[in-house]
Amino acid sequence: MKILTIFLRFILLLIILMLSHFTIYFFPSLLGWMSDNGSNKFILTSFGFFLFSSAIFSYAIIFFAWRLIYLVDHNRIFSNSGTFALRMIQYAFYYIAIDYLISFFDIGELANIEQAPAPFTAQIFIIVFATSMGLFVNLLQRINQRVVSSQTSAKKELS
């Protein structure tokens, strides 16, 4: 099991590096490019807020996923701490889905500049993916919570 968790940590580190690259280099240059192509300040501010807030919640997902891996390594995944981490991951995925749903019209500005439907397609994919991941993590969180409740009631019956 330790080999798998080491591999998962390595993948999380790669995701952190890619996300940091996008957040530090790509997002500001995208906003600058949109500004150079005539986007108004309100759209740029709104779009920038949605981009950077989704990045922050992506970092939160990575943080709590790292916490779950730690709990797996220490055989404490079925605990209140594991349930809490899953709940936070669930909320972060839902936030990202709502974030991209609200920013749908900001993406429209990007699509107008590019004259291509690709931004809408990518945004719809992100909304569906984040929602489905949130639902999946919700299921895992409920299973974890039931196991914790079962363990707690079994301990009370034994004592």
Q: What is the mean pLDDT of residues 99-128?
A: 77
On whether the CB atoms of residues 54 and 100 are closer than 8 A, the answer is: yes
- The domain limits of the chain are 2-151
- Of residues 111 and 46, more confidently modeled: 46
Q: What is the pLDDT of residue 55?
A: 95
* Residue found by looking up tokens 């991209």 in the block: 100
Sign of CA dihedral 104, 140, 23, 56: positive
Q: What is the mean pLDDT of residues 112-117?
A: 64
- Continuous segment of H or E residues that includes residue 84: helix 80-102
Q: State percent of the chain over pLDDT 70.
A: 92
> What would the pLDDT profile of 64-80 be if each residue is shown by its tens digit?
999 999 999 999 999 99
Confidence at 59, pLDDT banded by 50, 70, 90:
very high
Report the largest interatomic distance among the alpha carbons of the chain, rounded to a whole angstrom: 71
- Quick check: 45 pLDDT over 90? no
